[in-house]
A = this chain, B = another copy of it.
């Protein structure tokens, strides 16, 4: 019985891992579309979001089935309910990548405002955060979770920097306002991805250690 449950829990883990890797890919592609000014990548992100959505439904159904049929206790129970919440965070990260893809489709139709440096850097960091947050769960080890809060701070700082820079563009030339706002929104979407990754880590810390660290970090 116990070994059968372990088998099903591993199956759940695999699905989460698959979902995380799809969302990482979506983030990367949405930014690639923005940097290379290529709508194909953005279209792919929008189309592939359905796969991420369906994986969330899938994970929830499997979790409910395990709760109903296996009546899991303690750690297993915590893992299953956390899986439901983490899949929800991943689904939202996918939505943010779709938002970026939509901004990109809009920006491609207009002249380039400025070469993008901080935004791709932010995207790399956010993508890494998603990867690491799920990595903690898979390896059952949250000893380096602290690192992730530091990365979140870097992402926040980059976002403020992007905002201030774009503000100067807008003030100098009102013709840049629309494009600058689109880029400000891209910055905010990436900041949301980094926030959502910290939500995942909070869940993982709770699952692995039983400690609730939620609400110790101010949400944005």
Contact = CB atoms under 8 A, between A and B. Distances in A.
Contacts of A177: 167, 170-171, 177
24 contacts: A50-B215, A53-B214, A53-B215, A54-B215, A57-B212, A64-B77, A64-B78, A64-B81, A67-B67, A67-B77, A67-B81, A68-B73, A68-B74, A68-B77, A71-B71, A84-B85, A88-B88, A99-B220, A167-B177, A167-B181, A170-B174, A174-B174, A177-B177, A181-B184
Interface in A174-207: 174, 177-178, 181, 184
Contacts of A57: 212, 214-215
Given A54-B215, A64-B77, A174-B174, 11 more contacts: A53-B214, A56-B214, A57-B215, A63-B81, A64-B81, A67-B77, A81-B84, A92-B219, A95-B220, A177-B177, A181-B184
Contacts of A181: 167, 181, 184
A144 B9 CA distance: 38
A36 B137 CA distance: 47
A95 B192 CA distance: 13
A99 B95 CA distance: 20
A77 to B, nearest CB: 6
5 tightest A-B CB contacts, nearest first? A53-B215, A171-B174, A95-B219, A71-B71, A170-B177
A204 to B, nearest CB: 15
A99 B218 CA distance: 11
Interface string A61-96: 001100110010110011001001100100010010
A58 to B, nearest CB: 11
Nearest to A96: B219
